A and B are shown apart, each in its own frame.
Chain A
Amino acid sequence: MEQSMVQTQTARLLREPMSDVDIARNLKWRRMKNFMFSVVGLLTLLFAICTLLALFIDLAMTGVPRISAEFFTNFPSRFPEKAGILSAWVGSLAVMITTAVVAIPIGVAAGIYLEEYAPKNFFTKIIELNIINLAGVPSITFGLMALGLFVYKFKFGQSILTAGMTLGLLVLPIVIVTTREAIRTIPNSIREASFGLGASHWQTIQHHVLPYSSGGILTGVIISLSRAIGETAPLITIGALTFIAFLPTAPVSDVFPYVSFQWLHDAFTVMPIQMFNWVSRPQQEFHVNAAATGTVLLVMTLLMNGVAIYIRYRFRRRMKW
């Protein structure tokens, strides 16, 4: 009885909603909206990419004519046409090396622990949550921490060592997260095969997990260094000088013990700080120097990112589980 009632109601409603004309009109309007969104989406994407291009072209047009061999071999100067970025690029290089030495071993080790060893407990949760939150902490806060701790408490001074450690800790979360992601792509069957042959946990990691995830880890390392090379604020906070007309102590010398780590304790400046210094000056000529420094900086970061993308792409194609 109830069923038949349903049937008649169905019959009544079946034809009601739309005639063919309605369908055509409805379709036309909906397709229109869909088309409009695809245009808006494309335009937005183009806008973002064009901004990147505009930024690059604007910088290069002003800066490239200024770039010459002297620009790399001169110290900064009061005379804009004589000024160069020698101390800045050497400083950047020294800071990068220190950053890498701090961030890579700690970051990779932490990533391995969290993926391979960490028990599923409260403390592990805390570590994981902490890493996520650390990635969201403003970079200038790291500078403040380093100023209070490394500069004044540990008395490292406003040195390359302090700078490298600051940036190393700043990019640590990036290294940890990318290491974990790289390790996670390795299927468990590989580990089981290794354990099955009697390998210890560390041997499994050493012989299988690390080699197979090295591409991903390398990508993370490069990305984190490219982030560090452009960081300015934390280094200003720890008191990096903006005007440096000397180089750090050479790491090798001809007197015993031939190798010196004195450079770690030297004052420094880096390329982004040099650029900031020049862009903050009112004179147009210094803006040209800033643009030239910016071009160098931008080319380096884009190159590093390009290499990282390439490695990631290669590895993803090679490693098919």
Chain B
Amino acid sequence: MSELKAFTSANHPTRRWRKIKDRLIETVLFLAACSSVFVTMGIVYVLVSESLPFFENVSFTEFLTGREWTPMFSDAKFGIRPLVAGTFMATFIAVCVAIPLGTIVSAYLSEYLKPSAREILKPVLELLAAVPSVVYGYFALLFVTPMLQKIMPNLGGFSILSAGIVMGIMIIPYVSSLSEDAMGAVPAHLREASAALGSTKFQTTLRVVIPSAFSGISSAYVLGISRALGETMVVAIAAGMQPNLTLDPSEPAATITAFIVQVSLGDLPHGSIGYQSIYVAGLTLLVLTLIFNILGMWIKNQIQEKE
């Protein structure tokens, strides 16, 4: 009893120790939380500092306007456009697959399925995103491409088209999962109000649920597109690694990521122009992703403001 009383006094050593311990733990936890900021700073620092020497050798205009990217050749050319074009084309095809299919699936999951069925099917669908991307690369090269070749006989062994399609399937869960969450969060009373006015489930989904959830759905789209922009292995395996400024999806072409992989596979002395070129490519990719995310956030804010 007396011990208990002593413990309540502020100067009791156990109690003081407890206070110090609490502060200590909080500091450690705080540092852990800051780690993510350090990582971001590390990424930006390394990408920028390793790319800067590149621009001592190559003019910025050549980098942006050149139509060829052959940094490893003896007659090196440093125009980023073929890589950016390849990246955009692969992303565009992936988005054309993932956004319509992902949205339909999420609406179906959220509005048409019983909760018990949804509970099972949603995780199954999410497994699509869990499959390693190198496996998707195999699938694109040795399953989808031969299948597409039956429809399009002049399609080569490597093509942006099949890589893009497989990438699209791969990111369906990114689109559908977040969209479904957003649709599920639409309050039931809005659905009831719509149903009470005699609308079909389809009309309720199209006119009430999707518009109400659009802010969340647009985040899902942005995430899916970011994934497609940064996806590496599928394009590295199935699209060939030849930088190629073309708008024809049936041709092989390299994306920024595929180029980085290709160069990394070889021997890469620190400070060589090849080493610098992958950092420039990486920085370009990061900037593109960032611009895209900011654009997405801006569009989302515009929509929210209108509401």
A residues with CB within 8 A of B: 30-31, 33-34, 37-38, 40-42, 44-45, 47-49, 51-52, 54-55, 58-59, 105-107, 109-110, 112-114, 117-118, 126-127, 130-131, 133-134, 136-145, 147-149, 152, 169, 172-173, 176, 200-202, 223, 226-227, 229-233, 236-239, 242, 272, 275-276, 279-280, 287, 290-291, 294, 297-298, 301-302, 305, 309
Binds A, one of B53-61, B185-193, B197-205, B245-253: B197-205
Query: Beyond A138-B230, A202-B21, is A294–B285 a contact (Cβ under 8 Å)?
Result: no
Query: Beyond A134-B36, A202-B21, A237-B261, is A148–B46 a contact (Cβ under 8 Å)?
Result: yes
B32 proximity list for chain A (CB < 8 A):
105-107, 109-110, 113
A298 and B135 contact, CB distance less than 8 A: yes
Question: Which residue in B101, B126, B134, B279 is a CB contact (below 8 Å) of A232?
Answer: B134
B112, CB-defined interface residue at 8 Å: yes
Tell me, rounded to whole Å, the shortest Cβ–Cβ distance linking A141 to chain B: 6
Residue of B nearest to A136 (CB): B226
Interface residues of B in 217-238 (CB under 8 A from A): 222-223, 226-227, 229-233, 236-237
Tell me, rounded to whole Å, the shortest Cβ–Cβ distance linking B258 to chain A: 9
Question: Which residue in A109, A152, A242 is a CB contact (below 8 Å) of B33?
Answer: A109
26 sample A-B contacts, Cβ–Cβ < 8 Å, listed by A number: A30-B203, A38-B108, A42-B112, A44-B101, A109-B33, A110-B33, A113-B26, A113-B29, A113-B33, A126-B37, A127-B36, A138-B226, A138-B286, A144-B50, A172-B35, A200-B18, A233-B133, A237-B278, A239-B264, A239-B268, A276-B134, A280-B237, A287-B142, A291-B138, A294-B134, A302-B127
Tell me, rounded to whole Å, the shortest Cβ–Cβ distance linking A113 to chain B: 4
B125, CB-defined interface residue at 8 Å: yes
Tell me, rounded to whole Å, the shortest Cβ–Cβ distance linking B141 to chain A: 7
Tell me, rounded to whole Å, the shortest Cβ–Cβ distance linking A125 to chain B: 12
Cα of A188 to Cα of B259 in the assembled complex, Å: 51
Question: Which residue in A130, A232, A239 is a CB contact (below 8 Å) of B233?
Answer: A232
B residues with CB within 8 A of A: 18-19, 21-22, 25-26, 28-30, 32-37, 39-40, 42-43, 46-47, 49-50, 101, 104-105, 107-109, 112, 121, 123-128, 130-139, 141-143, 169, 172, 199-203, 205, 222-223, 226-227, 229-233, 236-237, 257, 260-261, 264-265, 268, 270, 278-279, 282, 285-286, 289, 293
A148 and B128 contact, CB distance less than 8 A: no
Query: Beyond A226-B130, A291-B138, A294-B135, is A233–B108 a contact (Cβ under 8 Å)?
Result: no
A145 proximity list for chain B (CB < 8 A):
39, 42-43, 46-47
